[in-house]
Amino acid sequence: MTSRSRFHLNRQGRAAHVFLIPWQLGFLLVTAVPLLASLYLAFTNYDILNAPEWTGLENFQRMIHDDQFWASVRVTLIYVLVSVPLQLAFALLLALILDRGLKGLAFYRSAFYLPSLLGSSVAIAILWREIFGDDGLINKGLALVGIHGESWLQNPRTALATLIVLNVWTFGSPMVIFLAGLRQIPDELYEAARVDGAGVIKQFRHVTVPLLTPIIFFNLILQTIGAFQTFTQAHIVSGGTGGPANSTLFYTLYVYQQGFVAFDMGYASALAWVLMVAIAVVTALHFLVSKYWVFYGDN
Amino acid sequence: MDRRGFLKVSLGTGLAATAITTVAGCGGSGGGSSGGGDEVTLRYAWWGNSIRQQNYTKALKQFSTANPSITIEPEFADYTAFQERMTTQIAARDVPDIFWIASPQVLTYHKSKLYRKLDDIPTLKWDDYSKEDLETFKLDGQLNTLPFGIFTPVIRYNETVAKADGVTVPAEGPGWTWDSLAELLVAYSKNNPGKRKGTPYAPDHDLTFEAWLRQRGEQLWTQDGQVGFTVDGLGSWLDWWEKLRKAGGALSLSEQEGMGPDWAQVGKKVLVNFGNSNHIIDDAKMFPQEKFRLRAAPIAAGAPAGHKYLYFPRMAIYQRIDDGNLEAAGKVLDYNVNSADMLKTVRLTMGAPTNPKVAEQAAAFASPDEKEMLAIVAKERAAERKPRYEAPPGSSTWRTTMARICEEIALGKTAVPAGAKKLVDEIGAGIKRAA
Amino acid sequence: MTRLKHAGLLVFVAVMIYPLVWMVVSAFKPPEQILTEPGLIPKDLTFENFKEGWHALNRPFSAFFVNSLVVTLASIAGNLFSCSLTAYALARLQFRMRRTYFAITLASVMLPFHVLVIPQYIFFSQLGLVNTYWPLLIPKFLATDAFFVFLMVQFIRTLPRELDRAAWIDGAGPFLTFWYVVLPLMRPALVTTTIFTFIWTWNDFFVPLIYLTRTRVFTVPVALNSMVDSETQSGVGMLFAMSLLSLIPILIFFAVAQKYLIRGIATTGLK
């Protein structure tokens, strides 16, 4: 290495430190220190007003006997397992329909994308309350065909479903990603398949799906992580209670209740760490399993 | 966006935004006192519905007009949101200068040293109160909260609808028991032209629950800060409601859109409501065509002497208030309780006045609804009463927990005995953690 | 066949958009007609919901719009500033911890916010910064939205290296190169960042809910939530009217910047 390029490297290193001042500060103050602090708090009884008191594993033992904890785990898992695949299925289906030179693509794409843009807002959560309430839009519609519907939000069997519908409704953003992915599949591959006598279904199975697997995987990871952290909708629709009968008690809502309503910061930190570990495990599993089904061009 | 555009957006908006943020006075905590000058800004926090919100906002403005050096910044929220907000603000030591205290929080706040003592503020007078009154106001022997109203547990009924449907609500006395009330509600629900139900499903209403307990010789909280009721006591209350609900005497959770329904929504669907005596003031206004009447809570056979009680809503001054703001804050409190001026604007939405002189004046300008409320409180006040104790530290979320368990019972997710045990256990665990 | 496809798609679009249209129409109906007459053609038109909703809280809604705008613009400034600096260093400069830093950035995309929020809250509250916008803004100026760093890194990598090499040879240091060569070329990534920061910050609810408890500092979502809490007889109409207003900035952004938006999503997902 010449002295000149070493000089360059040093200079780059120094410059990098300046460029990275905000990031390093952010990593330290906003991420690393809070992460460790919450790990410590997870082993304490802490209400902010009095000093934290070390309680060892008590918070974690408390979870085992905490019905609400288990209810929130259940609700969140059902939500992730049902709404993410449904949402992605819709996204993929619509992307396939819209792909390949359909007229009015831009219009459809915008129309389907719009809900994604608004879906996480308080305004839409408010709208959902009125759609699925006792006197809501859905029941008014049912009344037209002679069915007397009960409040969808007050029935523990249907309350979560309304939120799943809300999440599926926002299929637009993964759809746009699918569309971009589809466009990258070279036409020659389809032509080659046609020459080999493959029909539409075979083309789909042997060309589209394999080449799209990285995109599906990407969407899956992104939407799963997002679904685990759903908060706004559950908070507004249930008025912050997670009711009826804990049926919309999302995990994050329970963390919020313990942390910022009951001010049980120690227990809430323990809950948050469990969530983080769970997300990490699920993501790692996704990556492990992806070896068996995600197709990257180079292997 | 080119480089110049980037520069503009990044620096321009950044600086402008931060400048606005700082200039708008959003920096720092405190009550925004202006230091040396005579101008004082006080934060005043209360809860309620929109009628009470508007009335109090107006009354506080009137106060500022009469006292131009004192500006009041109103902080209003619904009852539940109010408590959540207070909790967050306490943690951040950003508490309003003057605030109302929700019943489950009284001793939790006391333990957190939120209350400033109130007997040494020259602008706040205590002359009108009897010694006995002052004793009952004290917490731990200190006069650090200001009880500014009196509530009693009541059954409120819609007299207009009752008359039209040919229903008579029994007068208070031997015929007015929990059983006779349940019978009435069930019978009414089965047969009335408006397809109304007897009552909203409200086993989580705290004051009537407390009345039930005291009639059984139990209490809500003990003097030493523990749960004052047994699993059986709670279970008997929940059973009464379960029977009523199963017999169709109460609204379903679907019909009332969940626990703790909005009166404006359910008022047209029921004959009676379980509530505090003061609720009639604002609630009746939501149905101006109809007349509402009150009955004291029914009385169980064999209820022990002294089971009646009064509930005082309290307000307080924040312990860490700026010394320069203290006299002004005292003045605001004085305006709240020791003069009838404010009541003319806010009406008796927070119950009968605690100040006997003000109570007399209020009787003169009271509306018919308010007279109804005053009469019932006066009767209870005259009765023999054993002391009641405030909610201990660590119990501050007990009402939410109770609502949740009542909901589970109504939905068939939990049986009454198991639910009662769970509630008593959970409240006990909270108290233990706070100890 | 295509005609059938179009018909099917249009029906589906109608179903998807129906709730939104219903909200728009309902906002202009007298409150008592919203739930009794749920059709799309209103019998009577009124602006009453807007008038009442505007003054439903202790301050007029305009105050909350200004607050939201301040927070949103400052967040955009913060993200543009901090993420572009970080991305340039990670994408172009050679230094020892580069790979580690990049890996950390990637990993933090997956970090659930809830695990950080409690210590952050304690920290900011001890500093007396609750009910100010600093807890919302400081993280933006410290490049903690790793998603945008990632997006910009990917983008810079697609730029031809010869350009900044040439600048280096001309004697421009890393700062001048960044400022005069790379930044102007990053325009699409900056636009995408701006758009998404706008939408996310405008919609953000959890963080303002925790830090902003005084009416005068409320952002629009927190103000809406506060209206939900004190819902009264005329509540639905007011709620719809204010909800609708709250969405308008986003809809405008959507209309104006649609192209960038769609491209932005599409490119972040791809190599």
Instruction: Specify the pLDDT at position C231.
Output: 55
For residues A99 and A202, state if they share a domain. Answer: yes
Local structure of residue A47 (DSSP, 8 states): -
- For B32-41, B225-234, B305-314, which range has the lowest pLDDT when averaged over its residues? B32-41
Read off the pLDDT of residues C25-47 as tens digits, 9 standing for 90 and up.
999 998 878 777 777 788 888 99
Residue A298 CB-density burial (10 A; 0-12 exposed, 13-18 middle, 19+ buried): exposed
CB B151 within 8 A of CB B310: yes
Residues A224 and A189 in one domain: yes
CB atoms < 10 A from the CB of C158, how many? 11
Same domain membership, residue B293 and residue B318: no
**ipTM of this complex:** 0.89
Output the six-digit token pair for C131: 């009910």
For A252, the domain range is: 62-293
Q: Read out DSSP for B360-393? A: HHHHHH--HHHHHHHHHHHHHHHS-B----PPPT
* Contacts A261 to B, Cβ<8 Å: 84, 87, 397, 400
Say what the pLDDT of residue C268 is: 58
The distance from CA B407 to its chain's CA centroid, rounded to whole angstroms, is 21
pLDDT, residue B191, reads 92
Residues A151 and A185 in one domain: yes
pLDDT at B29: 39
Q: Is the pLDDT of residue B241 over 60?
A: yes
Query: Which residues are bridge partners to B314 per DSSP?
Result: B101, B147
What's the pLDDT score for residue A297? 63
Q: Which residues of B touch C231 (CB under 8 A)?
A: 262, 264
Which residues of chain C make contact with A253, given a CB cutoff of 8 A? none
pLDDT at position A274, please? 96
Amino acid identity for residue C264 in this structure: G
Same domain, A31 and A165: no
| Min Cα–Cα distance to chain A from B265, Å | 11
Between chains, do A246 and B252 touch, taking CB under 8 Å as contact?
no
Domain extents in chain C: 63-268
Q: What is the model's pLDDT at position A9?
A: 63
Residue B128 lies in a domain: yes
How would you write chain C as a 3-class SS string?
A: CHHHHHHHHHHHHHHHHHHHHHHHHHHCCCHHHHHHCCCCCCCCCCCHHHHHHHCCCCCCHHHHHHHHHHHHHHHHHHHHHHHHHHHHHHHHCCCCCHHHHHHHHHHHHCCCCHHHHHHHHHHHHHCCCCCCCHHHHHHHHCCCCHHHHHHHHHHHHHCCHHHHHHHHHCCCCHHHHHHHHHHHHCHHHHHHHHHHHHHHHHHCCHHHHHHCCCHHHCCHHHHHHHHHHCCCCCHHHHHHHHHHHHHHHHHHHHHHHHHHHHHHHHHHCCC
- Tell whether B82 and B142 lie within a shared domain: yes
Q: Are residues A36 and A166 in the same domain?
A: no
> B341 and B214 share a domain?
no
Q: Does residue A57 lie in a domain region?
A: no
Contacts of A24 (CB under 8 A, 6+ apart): none
B334 and B251 part of one domain: no
User: To which CATH superfamily is domain C63-268 assigned?
Assistant: MetI-like (1.10.3720.10)
Q: List the single residue in A19, A29, A169 with the smallest CB-CB distance to C86.
A: A19
**pLDDT band at A112, cuts 50/70/90?**
very high
Residue with tokens 């039930």: B212
pLDDT at B7: 40
The answer to whether C93 touches A19, Cβ cutoff 8 Å, is yes
Residues A162, A258, single domain; the answer is: yes
* Mean pLDDT for the stretch of residues A86-91: 96
Q: Is the pLDDT of residue B2 over 80?
A: no
Pair (B257, B319) in one structural domain? no
Count how many domains chain B has: 2
The reply to whether B286 falls in a domain is yes
Domain check: are B195 and B292 in the same one?
Answer: yes
Residue B387 within any structural domain of the chain: no
Same domain, yes or no: A35 and A82? no
Looking at the fold, whether B207 and B287 belong to one and the same domain comes out as yes
- C106-142: pLDDT as tens digits: 888 878 888 899 899 989 988 889 899 999 999 999 9
More confident of the two residues B415 and B15: B415
Contact C215, B76 (CB under 8 A): yes
Residues A82 and A173 in one domain: yes
pLDDT exceeds 60 at position B9: no
Per-residue pLDDT, B377: 95
Q: How, if at all, do strands B70-77 and B98-101 pair? A: unpaired
In this prediction, residue B59 carries a pLDDT of 96
| pLDDT of the residue at B8 | 43
> Can you tell me the distance from the alpha carbon of C170 to that of C181, in angstroms, rounded to the nearest whole number?
12
- Residue contact C180–B94, C-beta within 8 A: no
Digit-coded pLDDT (tens) for A227-238: 998 999 999 888
Residues of chain A contacting residue C99, judged by C-beta atoms under 8 Å apart: none
User: So what's the pLDDT on residue C158?
Assistant: 87
User: Residue B65's domain is classified under what CATH number?
Assistant: 3.40.190.10
**Quick one: which of B30, B114, B166 has its CA closest to B316?**
B114
Q: Are C188 and C260 in contact (CB under 8 A)?
A: yes
Cβ of residue A158 closer than 8 Å to a chain B Cβ: no
Please check whether residues A175 and A29 belong to one and the same domain: no
Q: Extract the tokens encoding B138.
A: 């004290």
pLDDT-derived band at A3, boundaries 50, 70, 90: low
Window 13-32 of B: residues touching A by CB (8 A cutoff) are: none
Tell which wins on pLDDT, A75 or B34: A75
A128 in a structural domain: yes
Task: Give residue B24's pLDDT.
Answer: 40
Show the tokens assigned to B341.
Answer: 């001026």
On average, the pLDDT of chain A sits at 89
> CA-nearest residue of chain A to C108?
A31
Q: What is the identity of the amino acid at B32?
A: G
Of B379, B405, B420, at which residue does a domain stop?
B379
Is A48 within the bounds of a domain? no
Domain that holds residue B129: 40-150+311-379
Q: Both tokens of residue C175?
A: 């700062």
| Cβ atoms of A256 and A235 closer than 8 Å | yes
Whose tokens are 């053609």? That residue is: C41
Q: What chain C residue is nearest to A132 in terms of C-alpha separation?
A: C19
Number of domains in chain A: 2
Is C183's CB within 8 Å of B89's CB? no
Q: Is residue B269 one of the residues assigned to a domain?
A: yes
- Give which of B8, B11, B15, B21 to mutate to test C binding, by max C Cβ within 10 Å: B21
What pLDDT, on a 0 to 100 scale, did the predictor assign at position C266? 66
| Residue C147 reports pLDDT greater than 90 | no
Question: Please, what is the Cα angle at B407 between B405 and B411, to 5 degrees?
Answer: 120
Q: Is residue B7 part of a domain?
A: no
Q: Which residue has the higher pLDDT, B16 or B389?
A: B389
Q: Tell me, yes or no, whether A29 and A111 share the same domain.
A: no
**B257-311: pLDDT as tens digits:** 889 888 988 999 999 999 999 999 989 998 999 999 999 999 999 999 999 999 9
